[in-house]
Amino acid sequence: MPSYLSPKGEAILGQLGALAPAIAAAAPEIDRTRDLPPALADALRAQDLFRLVQPCEYGGIELDPPSLMQVVEEVAKHDASTAWCLGQTNICAYVTGFLPPETVRTIFGPQTGIVAWGPGPAQAQVVPGGYRLTGTFDFASGSRLATWLGAHVPVIEADGSRRSGSDGKPTITTLLFPKDNAEIRDTWQVMGLRGTGSDSYSVTDLFVPDACSLHRHPDVRPRVAGKLYVFTQSTLYAPSFASIAFGIARAFMDAFIRDLKDTTPRGAARSRGENHVVQATVGQSEARLRSARTYLLSEVAEIWAEAQAQDVLTPDQLLRIRMASTWGIQSARQVVADLYAAAGALAIFDIRPFERRFRDIHTVTQQFQGQAAHFETVGQALLGRETDRPMFTF
């Protein structure tokens, strides 16, 4: 099987080997407190693990997409919430490739410089020197770690019209501002991924300077040379979140085989490891997980190689990433669901390593990147029909 890890990726996975016991040990506390312990967050910062997607010229690691996938997958084997925070906040920092250098140094220069954001509703009004922003935002994963927040909003020009791109279609602008300027609301009482701290926040008539804004349109080109920025944020989010799903499913399967193969269900004549139905379930689950993971990794690795000679991804490349990412998330969910059923009543106790991962994987599938509705969009494109929604945004 080919290796999809770059030398940078191998080095980071080596660092994670030392951190893995601390991540795994903190997992119950993370789930209970709905936050990453300060000591763990500090350890992640100290290893520059929040700089994975930032350009080398700003002190970032500028990690290639296949390696990024495998890094978050490895973390997810130990705790999915930690992996989600890393994946989300790192990919938020993708904007460093497009912002003015002085803005990058202000926001991301300190080791504590982390950005988080979530969807509106909101809008911004153009004013001299910048914008006036008003809105409420939800699902800001990693916001408890962040020092800055973001808003993706429609912009109303001084003449009252909505800002459009060169194609005449309405566009979105990202505005960044210090977290201290927002009202934070603890709304993250949820089933799974509890430790992501995906709180809500609001601002009213907040001034955001031009230097802290980014027009999100395909015509906008990066200010740095790295080919990582040929990918879009969405085409990094999708495979990274699928890789978190792979990590959850792999950890679930490993625990099932380790802890339950010699257990005997009530009233049964043989152990689970001797049960033919369980044997078939384990075999099929292993095949499903390996094939979905290999499919996505190979697609992303091939597109990464192709991107070295490109300035933008092609529609076919976007389709391939969307299809393989959604399939990966749904396949990982199926693996966990099948093994959870095979575990019987032993799966429901929180002292065992099953019920939290069951909750986490079913929370991953509810996020936008995991929606099965993406298959409709892929099918429309394959059949030569106009898609109901874009394959990916900026």
Confidence check: pLDDT of 393 > 90: no
**Which CATH number is correct for 7-108, 3.40.50.2000, 3.30.70.2190, 3.40.50.80, 1.10.540.10?**
1.10.540.10
Question: From CA 293, how far away is CA 329, in angstroms rounded?
Answer: 9
Q: How many CB atoms lie within 10 A of CB 276?
A: 8
Q: What is the DSSP string of 28-97?
A: HHHHHHTS--HHHHHHHHHTTTT-TTS-GGGT-----HHHHHHHHHHHHHH-HHHHHHHHHHHHHGGGGG
Residue 392 confidence (pLDDT): 75
Residue 267 confidence (pLDDT): 87
143-147, 164-168, 174-178, 371-375: lowest mean pLDDT where?
A: 164-168
Residue 394 confidence (pLDDT): 67
Question: From CA 215, how far away is CA 219, in angstroms rounded?
Answer: 9
Residue 184 confidence (pLDDT): 97
Instruction: Write the CA distances from 283 to 271, 279, 290, 292, integer angstroms.
Output: 16, 6, 11, 14
Q: Do 115-216 and 231-382 have matching folds? A: no
Residue 219 confidence (pLDDT): 83
Residue keyed to tokens 């085989």: 257
Output the six-digit token pair for 131.
Answer: 């914008």
Structural domain boundaries of the chain? 7-108, 115-216, 231-382
Q: pLDDT tens digits for 246-267?
A: 999 999 999 999 999 999 999 8
Averaged pLDDT, 16-31: 96
Residue keyed to tokens 């990464």: 304
Residue 191 confidence (pLDDT): 96
Q: pLDDT tens digits for 44-92?
A: 999 999 999 999 999 999 999 999 999 999 999 999 999 999 999 999 9
- Please, how many CA atoms are within 13 Å of residue 31, restricted to the half-sphere of its CB? 19
One-letter amino acid for residue 211 of the chain: A
Which residue in 261, 265, 283, 263 sits closest to 273, CA to CA?
Answer: 261
Confidence check: pLDDT of 276 > 90: yes
Q: How many CB atoms lie within 10 A of CB 352?
A: 16
Residue 217 confidence (pLDDT): 82
Cβ atoms of 299 and 215 closer than 8 Å: no
Residue keyed to tokens 């000679």: 309
Cβ atoms of 54 and 62 closer than 8 Å: yes
Q: pLDDT tens digits for 290-340?
A: 999 999 999 999 999 999 999 999 999 999 999 999 999 999 999 999 999
Averaged pLDDT, 104-132: 96
Superfamily of segment(s) 231-382: Butyryl-CoA Dehydrogenase, subunit A, domain 3 (1.20.140.10)
At residue 173's C-alpha, the angle toward residues 171 and 176, to 5°, is 170
Q: pLDDT tens digits for 198-236?
A: 999 999 999 999 999 999 888 889 999 999 999 999 999
Residue 389 confidence (pLDDT): 84
Averaged pLDDT, 30-49: 96
Output the six-digit token pair for 211.
Answer: 């230097």
Q: What is the DSSP string of 107-158?
A: HHSSTT--EEE---SEEEEEETTEEEEEEEEEEETTTTT-SEEEEEE-EE-T
At residue 280's C-alpha, the angle toward residues 277 and 284, to 5°, is 140
Q: Please say whether the dihedral angle defined by the alpha carbons of residues 360, 361, 366 and 370, taken in this order, is positive or negative.
A: positive
Q: pLDDT tens digits for 164-197?
A: 988 888 899 999 999 999 999 999 999 999 999 9
Question: In 210-343, where do the E strands start and end?
Answer: 213-216
Q: 115-216 is classed in which CATH architecture? A: Beta Barrel (2.40)
Residue 390 confidence (pLDDT): 83
Residue 166 confidence (pLDDT): 82
At residue 102's C-alpha, the angle toward residues 234 and 124, to 5°, is 55
